[in-house]
Amino acid sequence: MLSRAFAVASSVSLAALLSAGQSVALELPLPPEGEDVVGQIQVIKANYEDTFAALGETHDLGYLELIAANPGVDPWLPGEGTDIILPTRYILPPGPREGVVINLAEYRLYYYPEGENVVHTFPLGIGREGWGSPVGNTRISAMTSNPAWYPPQSIRDEHAADGDPLPKVVPPGPDNPLGPYKMSLALPGYLIHGSNKKFGIGMRVSHGCFRMLNHNVLELAGLVKVGTSVRIIDEPYKFGVSQGKIYLEAHTPLQDEEKPMTLMDKHAVVINTLLKRDEAAGSLQLDWEMVREIIAGEDGLPIQIAERGQALATHEEHVF
């Protein structure tokens, strides 16, 4: 039985040969019907001046996903020549592959252009604790270039309490926290927008809106239109199929610090997520040791846990 570490190392080594450290835009071809895995993990050598925030901006990755994929590496000073894993392989989110899909748990947005066999994916900053981003179905209701910002009274009150009062209107420009573009959602008060801060993409930092790198929000604005559907989900555990193999991708669940999830809670969520998929009704012999390691690791990398055509071991037979 392969360990999770060996499985990750094997996939990274193959990807390194394929990518040769090259940065590629995260526009990825969709897999064949019935499959769910896109992209390839990449490996690069860090330069002396590199930080995870800078690498994220260059490679369209979020800060926390780089930390999760590179445990033990200093995000502010990785060190000259250090191998950095770029987690650019994804299991597509469950549900229809249409419009915009935001998965809060992985701080990531997916866009499926109509009539094209590709998916575009971008990192996001989402709502911090106490200002959580919503889950549900909505649409883009308006698109605005170089927007002014009208801070809601609740945010003005918060800033005033911290000794940092805000004006009623922040005009477009380098001090505007909405960046060069905003897309309003049909959910009142929620936006997809750029930012005047590079740090914070791929983290819980906003007041509920979805914050993007400025070059990413401009790219997305050129792809979508008013009326584009937006589906917001919160799925920390994604199962997917690729070439007859079953993969699990685990992210740290969003949770209230006062009520953290136990390991048993996380295992239960994984089992329930698996049972929602068609594979649970078929024949799978899961590698439960690998599943446990993936749940404990929460590194966001798709790892193989089974192959189709093997007998399904019922979850009652396995005690985590």
**Where in the sequence numbering do the catalytic residues fall?**
193, 209
Count Cα neighbours of 10 within 13 Å in the Cβ-side half-sphere.
Answer: 9
Token pair listed for 267: 């295992």
Identity at 270, one-letter amino acid code: V
Q: How many helices (H) and strands (E) does the chain have?
A: 7, 18
Q: Are 47 and 82 in contact (CB under 8 A)?
A: no
Q: Are 213 and 198 in contact (CB under 8 A)?
A: yes
Backbone dihedral region for residue 22 (phi beyond 0: left; psi -120 to 50: alpha; all else: beta): beta
β-strands 245-250, 118-123 pairing: unpaired
Between CA 52 and CA 66 the distance in angstroms is 7
Token pair listed for 186: 């049909």
